[in-house]
Chains A and B, each alone.
Chain A
Amino acid sequence: MNKLEVDKLDAWFGETRAVKSISLAVPPCSVTAIIGPSGCGKSTFVRCLNRMHELTPSARSEGRVLLDGEDVYAVDPVYLRRRVGMVFQRPNVFPTMSISDNVLSGLRLNRVRADYEAILERTLTQTALWDEVKDRLEGSAVGLSGGQQQRLCIARALAVEPEVLLMDEPASALDPIATAKIEELIDELKQQYTIVIVTHNMQQAIRISDYTAFFYLGELVEHGATEQVFTRPAKRETEDYVTGKFG
């Protein structure tokens, strides 16, 4: 059974239809990369998967998104966002909070009773940050490098034990070393989590994803195994986009 099933999804900003009747299935414990030029609707699409799109004034959507067969529009959005976490382009650590509080903020906000120390160590270890920050857990999170802050945001997303992680260009603001660490992390996380990642970096999509979906003008042009999409795409538009003949 697919982890996510999207069926004829449309998304609007006011009168503008940003996502047009997209149907797409995401298998569990896999990485799906969403690629396409700026403005093609890929971020909007991803934000529909955990109902963040509807938080924007004038935004609305139609169609169905099923998580483990359950319609996400039929469940409490706060509960949904615990199951479907999100990591953004720029690391958005809470500047007034310590490293430790950043990681645990989701749990505290939801008043979840748990072994906070164990969760802190587990998520920071999962994100390869533990050795780097274990001696300054109460220090400010803004003292970390950009790459560390992004991994901290991923640790924060993992702390609430999601099943799906949505990532919107998580490495685009990072240097190549920090990017490599995020990619390594994604590779490990997919053993446990289902990941949907928006990326402008085609080589990154090739390196980390199992499936690739190419969006153009709000439509899904092609969706297939990454190896196929980047070596023998089925659609001419995909070929032109991935080879850089787009105009």
Chain B
Amino acid sequence: MVHKGHTSREFDRELRQLRDKLLDMGGRAEQQIALAVQAMAKRDVSLAQAVIDNDAQIDREELAIDELAFLILARRQPVASDLRFVMLAVKVVTDLERIGDLAVNIAKRVRDLARFAASALQERIELLGQRVLAALQLALDAFVHEDAERAEKVIEGDRDIDALNMHVIADILSTGDGIDVADVARVLALSSVSRYLERIGDHATNIAEMVIYYVRGRDVRHHIARPRG
């Protein structure tokens, strides 16, 4: 048997289109996080506003991907790896859209932070931002290369992201950052940003889990071993 594309070239084209749209949206989500963290670091309110404005494009991409996935399901009734791929698209698009929303949330906190000077706490959050961005990039790389091992690294790395977030919260609780009552707004904004970044890390993990499902046909979510048929 010769291995090649689908007998229906149109089906091949639809799947390629779905993949390309997901990658475009993933790239945009990556960019949104990078810009939001950069806006926080530079106290750049106009850059933060650009992040907020860009979100509409991510929302439009979500709708377009959902519509294409829906059409493929209705037209092709995909099975096996094609079905797993469409399932991946439907799930991952939700994660990417949420990542976009969380980038907007970070951008909104930048407005609150703009009037305060940078602090050691914020530097720790910037480090967290870099780690989260790297996790999302790795998850999308794993998707592009259909590489379950890279996806596993994302899942393993999420522990470090959670730990960094916990450090931020611990710093705040121990007032190690010199917090006084007047500083409450700043600290609240920073703790929110930390939490948003941690959530983005969780979405990157979700994407990685779906890549493993697509590549290996194995559902690794929630660490529950499922019987194989």
Q: Is A202 an interface residue (CB 8 A)?
A: yes
Q: Is the CB of A202 within 8 A of B1?
A: no
Flag if B217 contacts A237 (CB, 8 Å).
no
| A242–B7 CB distance below 8 A | no
Whether A240 contacts B1 by the Cβ 8 Å rule is: yes
- Within 224-244 of A, Cβ neighbours of B (below 8 Å) are at 224-225, 227-233, 236-240, 242-244
Q: Are A245 and B7 within 8 A (Cβ)? A: yes
A239/B80 in contact, CB under 8 A: yes
In the complex, are the beta carbons of A243 and B81 less than 8 A apart? yes
Q: Which A residues lie within 8 Å of B5 (CB)?
A: 245
| A203-B77 contact given A244-B6, A244-B8, CB 8 Å threshold | yes
Q: Which secondary structure characterizes the binding site on chain B?
A: loop
Q: Can you list the 4 inter-chain pairs with the closest CB atoms, starting with the nearest?
A: A232-B217, A228-B229, A225-B229, A230-B79
Q: Name the residue on A nearest B85 (C-beta).
A: A243
B4 CB within 8 Å of chain A: yes
B228 lies within 8 A of A245 (CB): no
* Chain B residues within CB distance 8 Å of chain A: 1-8, 11, 77-84, 216-218, 228-229
**In the assembled complex, A216 has its CB within 8 A of some CB on chain B:** yes
Cβ–Cβ contact B80 & A233, under 8 A: yes
- Residues of B contacting A57 in the complex (Cβ-Cβ under 8 angstroms): none
Q: Evaluate contact between B79 and A227: CB separation under 8 angstroms.
A: no
- Among A236, A242, A246, A247, contact of B79 (Cβ-Cβ < 8 Å): A242
Q: Is A97 an interface residue (CB 8 A)?
A: no
- CA–CA, A233 to B1, complex, Å? 16
Evaluate contact between A231 and B83: CB separation under 8 angstroms: yes
Compute how far the CA of A206 lies from the CA of B82 in the bound complex, rounded to whole angstroms. 15
7 extra interchain contacts, Cβ-Cβ under 8 A, other than A232-B84, A233-B80? A232-B217, A232-B229, A242-B79, A243-B6, A244-B8, A245-B5, A246-B1
Give Cα A245–Cα B1 distance, bound, in whole angstroms.
10
Q: Interface range on chain A: under 10, 10 to 19, 20 to 34, or 35 or more?
A: 20 to 34
The 14 listed contacts between A and B (C-beta, < 8 Å) are: A224-B229, A225-B229, A231-B80, A231-B84, A232-B218, A233-B80, A242-B79, A242-B80, A243-B79, A244-B6, A244-B11, A245-B5, A245-B6, A247-B7
- Shortest beta-carbon distance, B59 to chain A, in Å? 31
A238 and B3 CA atoms in complex are apart in Å by: 11
Measured between alpha carbons, how far is A206 from B81 in the docked complex, in Å? Answer: 15
| Docked complex Cα distance between A103 and B85 (Å) | 48
**CB–CB A236/B8 < 8 A:** no
Count chain B CB atoms within 10 A of each CB in A224, A229, A236, A246 and give the residue with the most: A246
Residue among B2, B83, B217 making CB contact with A247, cutoff 8 Å: B2
Is there an interface contact between A202 and B79, defined as CB atoms closer than 8 Å? Answer: yes
Give the shortest distance, in Å, between A216 (CB) and chain B (any CB). Answer: 7
Find the B residue at minimum CB distance from A228.
B229
For the complex formed, measure the closest distance between the CB of B3 and the CB atoms of chain A, giving whole angstroms.
6
Q: In the complex, A238 Cα to B83 Cα: how many Å?
A: 14
The reply to whether A244 and B217 contact each other, CB–CB distance below 8 Å, is no
Chain A residue nearest to B229 (CB atoms) is A228
With A231-B217, A243-B6, A245-B7 in contact, is A237–B1 under 8 Å at CB?
yes
Compute how far the CA of A243 lies from the CA of B86 in the bound complex, rounded to whole angstroms.
13
